[in-house]
Amino acid sequence: MNSSVPNVLRPGGSRNTPLGLADIRPRADSSVSDGFSGGDSLNTQPGTSNYMAPWALYAFDWCKWPSTGSGAGKLAIGSYLEDGHNFIQILDTHIAPTPMEAYAPGTSKSSLEFTKVAEATHTYPVTRLLWEPPSSQKQSTDLLATSGDHLRLWSLPSDTPSGAAAMSPSSTIGRREQVPTKLTPLALLSNSKTPDHTAPLTSLDWNTVSPSLIITSSIDTTCTIWDIPSLTAKTQLIAHDKEVYDVRFCANSMDVFVSCGQDGSVRMFDLRSLEHSTIIYEPTGKDERDTQGGRISPTLAQQTMSNPPPLLRLATSPHDAHLLGTFAQDSNVIRILDVRQPGQALLELRGHAGAVNCLEWSPNRRGTLASGGDDCQVLIWDLLSNNSSSLTGGAGSIGGVPGAPPPANGGAPVDNARAPVAAWQCDHEVGNLGWVPRLANSDYGEWLGVSGGRGIWGVRF
């Protein structure tokens, strides 16, 4: 199946290896600069729809609040450096015509430009960051949350310039510089009984129904629900037998959430009845297949049951409260689960030739999600269609995959498998991605933000 995914855009220059989520820690990479300079000159100059950070990055979130005019909203990014000196940057983005010198026939006539407008230091690698979700109570937000050593809340100063106001004479294609303002630290929330030693947080999620609630996961096997107005922990529970690596609220609920972790299981909880939980998925050996989709040996199946691979990340559908996706450490398979049918996976998404690192559902297209991995590929999946159709392609755009692959090794087709409908080739292994919220002008098209190494790319489809 992997051979059916075309290299729509070939990587250029030398390769940097970005974060790989192995036990929620990045792989060592001597080619990525930890400072604010250095590195291969081929990888330091931004191109069209590209921004280069001064450090390896992982955490990544596009503000979901509506944008106006040519604006594409604010983007928050965080570094993942294995020391006590980490960073957050806030980028303002907008759609602009692609410069004539960078335009090629058949490619997008629009590009995504990035302007750094604010920054802050962060003492621990940023495992996840999120903007406050939209609500009817106000028109915009300046509130940001990060997980790492603690749950931290930040504010973007209201006088932060954006758009053209932030432009400086040293502008380059796709990247505009200014003297950034400093993010304001608002709160540090810790539920540790010993402040000098706290278990690191691996992730967080912000409830979209009740934005006063944030949930965090930790390597100490717990999940904690925080009440933001009072800055207190409402509930803490032991969620797994081992480290918890990710946690997500289910769509349209302020009570139901799912988690995954080192024990290889996905579990669902309801804050209204925490005395029990539901195991949504754990490897049984029966549904395990090799990398080509064929059945694995009984011996390997038994080993899988005895030592299941850790599940690193979750993604819950924003449209269907019963659907979620997950992937295991060092696995190129994405499993789609239905919480109404605990046990085996509903679907298996096989298309990556390397380990999957990230997964995100589209907020605008029901049943559509994007994934990225160590194979430098971004793949688009449409769960509502069995056909592989092409999406608008071009430089900085996503191109189509020409049809589903034949069964592996001459075997019967896997009836619960899907092929990707589109692919984009990154210059680096893909560490994270996020969908750009719906733009004010539909002529601008739909965009996906992709991070790899030190770079951010805007990809239109």
Per-domain residue ranges for the chain? 2-9+47-460
pLDDT in tens, 55-66: 999 999 999 998
CA 16 remoteness from chain centre: 19
CB-based contacts of 250, cutoff 8 Å, min separation 6: 256, 257, 258, 268, 316, 321, 322, 324, 339
* Residue 279: other Cβ atoms inside 10 A: 12
Residue 109: the pLDDT is: 82
Residue 41: the pLDDT is: 28
Q: Which CATH architecture has domain 2-9+47-460?
A: 7 Propeller (2.130)
Distance, in Å, from the CA atom of 244 to the CA atom of 219, rounded to the nearest integer, reads: 5
Residue 393: the pLDDT is: 31
Which helix or strand (DSSP H or E) is residue 260 part of? strand 256-261
Distance, in Å, from the CA atom of 189 to the CA atom of 205, rounded to the nearest integer, reads: 15
Residue 161: the pLDDT is: 64
Segments of the chain with pLDDT less than 50: 1-44, 164-176, 287, 291, 387-395, 400-414
Instruction: Give 285-311 as a 3 state SS string.
Output: CCCCECCCCCECCHHHHHHHHHCCCCE
* Residue 227: other Cβ atoms inside 10 A: 15
CA distances from 378 to 8, 86, 169, 373, 403 (A): 10, 27, 34, 7, 17
Q: Are the beta carbons of 403 and 388 closer than 8 angstroms?
A: yes
First to last CA, the chain: 23
